[in-house]
C-alpha cells in the first residue's frame, strides 16, 4: 500500500532565525508521534494530497515542495487483524501559518521538536534517518530585521546588510560569511514569495518584503565583488567566487521580477502550478542555506554537498515539467478566450522558472568547487 505524507518544518526562535524545527502529531490509534500522512486523494497530485493531510491533521498551511525527499515504510494493523506494510512518500512543507482550529484538533496533539528530538520521537528507522538528514544550514540570523543590523542601518543610512558586513569583514575578506548571509536572504525571499502566492491578505506586504530582500542581497553581492578585487588570497579561484554569488543573486533577482509583475498587473489569483514551483523554490533555498556553510571544509563535506546539489538539479527538472504542464493547460483554457490572462500567467511562469534555473546554476557552481577542492 502507498501513502503520502508531509514533513512540516519551520525555523525556530522569535525572529525565525534559529535551528530547524519539525512538527509532529500524535496517532489517533496509538498516541505515538508521527508525521501527517494519509492516502492520495482522487484528482489531486500526491504532494497536494499531502498538504491537505497537513491542514486536516496538524492545522498547518505552507509551501509544499512537489519533489519528495524520500520514503519510509511502516506496518499497520487493520481491523480484521491483518498487518499490512505501507510505503509512505514524504514531501517537505515550509509552514507559513498555524491554524487555531482544524479538522482533527480534538483527536490529535501537535508539537514542535528539534531535528534530533523529532527523530528520536518517531518509531520508523527510515523516517528517523530522513529527519536527521533534514539538516540545518545554521546561518539565518543575517535575514533578521532587528538588532545590530537594523541599528547600523539607522545610524549610517545605508543598507542593513551592507553596513553590517562592512563592520564585520577582516581585511582578507570573509567570503564564507557573505555566502551564508546571501543564502539566508534567498531563503527569506523564497518564503515571502510562497506566502504571496497563497492568495491571502497582505500580498502588497509580501511584495515589499521580496523587494527589500533583493536589495539586501544586492548589497552583499557588491561587497563580495569589491572584496574579491582587494583581497590577495582567496579561498577559491576568483572567478568561482564571483560566479557563485552571481548565480545566487540571479535567483533572488527573478523572485523580485515575479513580485514586480504581480504588482504591475495587480494579480490576486495564482495558478496551482505556480504555487507548486514556489514550493520547489522554498526547498531549493533551504538546501542552499545548508550547502553554503559546508564550503568551509569541502574535503570533509564533499559527499553531503553532492547529495544537496543532485537534489537541486532534480528539482529544477521537475520545475520545468510543472512549468510546461501549467502553460499547456492555460493555453487550452484561456489562449483564445482570455488572452491577457494567459500572457500575464506566462510572464509569471517565466520568472518562476528562471528562479529554479538559477538554483541549478548555484548547484553547478558548488559541484565545480567540490571537484576542484575535495
pLDDT digits (tens, 9 = 90+) for 311-339: 999 999 999 999 999 999 999 999 889 99
Boundaries of domain holding 35: 2-133
C-alpha cell at 248: 545566487
Look-up of cell digits 505501507? 86
> Do residues 360 and 251 both lie within one domain?
yes
Are residue 145 and residue 129 in the same domain, yes or no? no
- Tell me which DSSP letter residue 101 carries: S
Both 103 and 150 in one domain: the answer is no
More confident residue, 138 or 89: 89
- Tell me the pLDDT band of 366, cut-offs 50, 70 and 90: very high
Q: List, for residues 188-230, the tens digit of each pLDDT value.
A: 999 999 999 987 778 999 999 999 999 999 999 999 999 999 8
* Mean pLDDT, residues 1-27: 87
- Based on the fold, state whether residues 22 and 164 are members of the same structural domain: no
C-alpha cell at 369: 568547487
Return the HEC string of 251-294.
Answer: HHHHHHHHHHHHHHHCCCCCCHHHHHHHHHHHHHHHHHHHHHHH
What are phi and psi for residue 199, nearest 5 degrees? Answer: 65, 25
Q: What pLDDT was estimated at residue 83?
A: 85
Residue ending a domain, among 115, 133, 151, is: 133
pLDDT band, very low/low/confident/very high, at 170 (cuts 50, 70, 90): very low
CA separation for the pair 98, 104 (Å, rounded): 14
User: Domains in the chain: how many in total?
Assistant: 2
**pLDDT of 248 above 50:** yes
Distance from the Cα of residue 181 to its chain's centroid: 15
Same domain, 120 and 145: no
Element (H, E) at 303: helix 298-334
Question: What value does the mean pLDDT take over residues 64-70?
Answer: 95
End-of-domain residue from the set 133, 157, 188: 133
Task: Please check whether residues 78 and 55 belong to one and the same domain.
Answer: yes
Same domain flag for 249 and 129: no
Same domain? 117 vs 175: no
Q: What confidence category does residue 78 fall into, taking pLDDT thresholds of 50, 70 and 90?
A: confident
For residue 308, give the CATH number of its domain.
1.20.58.220
This prediction has a pTM of 0.84
Amino acid at each position: 500500500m502507498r501513502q503520502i505524507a508531509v514533513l512540516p518544518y519551520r525555523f525556530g526562535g522569535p525572529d525565525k532565525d534559529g535551528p530547524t524545527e519539525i512538527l509532529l502529531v500524535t496517532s489517533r490509534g496509538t498516541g505515538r508521534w508521527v508525521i501527517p500522512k494519509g492516502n492520495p486523494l482522487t484528482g489531486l497530485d500526491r504532494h497536494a494530497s499531502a498538504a491537505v493531510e497537513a491542514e486536516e491533521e496538524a492545522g498547518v498551511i505552507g509551501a509544499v515542495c512537489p519533489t519528495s525527499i524520500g520514503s519510509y515504510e511502516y506496518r499497520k494493523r487493520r481491523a480484521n487483524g491483518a498487518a499490512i506494510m505501507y510505503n509512505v512518500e514524504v514531501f517537505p512543507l515550509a509552514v507559513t501559518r498555524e491554524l487555531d482550529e482544524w479538522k482533527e484538533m480534538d483527536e490529535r496533539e501537535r508539537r514542535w521538536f528539534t531535528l534530533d528530538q523529532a527523530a528520536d520521537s518517531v518509531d520508523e528507522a527510515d523516517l528517523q534517518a530522513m529527519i536527521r538528514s533534514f539538516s540545518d544550514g545554521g546561518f539565518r540570523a543575517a535575514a533578521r530585521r532587528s538588532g545590530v543590523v537594523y541599528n547600523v542601518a539607522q545610524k549610517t543610512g545605508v543598507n542593513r546588510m551592507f553596513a553590517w558586513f562592512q563592520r564585520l569583514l577582516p581585511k582578507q575578506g570573509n567570503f564564507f560569511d557573505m555566502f551564508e548571509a546571501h543564502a539566508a536572504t534567498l531563503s527569506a525571499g523564497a518564503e515571502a514569495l510562497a506566502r504571496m502566492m497563497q492568495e491571502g491578505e497582505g500580498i502588497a506586504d509580501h511584495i515589499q518584503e521580496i523587494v527589500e530582500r533583493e536589495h539586501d542581497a544586492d548589497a552583499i553581492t557588491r561587497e563580495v565583488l569589491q572584496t574579491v578585487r582587494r583581497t590577495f588570497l582567496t579561498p577559491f579561484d576568483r572567478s568561482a567566487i564571483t560566479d557563485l554569488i552571481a548565480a545566487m543573486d540571479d535567483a533572488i533577482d527573478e523572485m523580485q521580477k515575479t513580485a514586480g509583475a504581480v504588482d504591475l498587473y495587480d494579480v490576486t489569483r495564482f495558478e496551482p502550478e505556480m504555487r507548486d514551483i514556489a514550493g520547489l523554490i522554498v526547498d531549493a533555498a533551504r538546501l542552499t542555506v545548508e550547502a553554503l556553510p559546508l564550503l568551509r571544509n569541502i574535503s570533509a563535506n564533499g559527499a553531503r554537498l553532492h547529495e544537496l546539489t543532485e537534489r537541486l538539479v532534480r528539482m529544477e527538472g521537475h520545475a520545468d515539467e510543472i512549468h510546461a504542464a501549467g502553460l499547456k493547460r492555460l493555453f487550452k483554457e484561456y489562449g483564445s478566450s482570455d488572452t491577457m490572462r494567459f500572457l500575464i500567467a506566462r510572464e509569471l511562469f517565466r520568472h518562476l522558472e528562471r528562479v529554479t534555473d538559477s538554483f541549478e546554476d548555484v548547484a553547478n557552481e558548488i559541484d565545480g568547487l567540490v571537484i576542484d577542492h575535495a
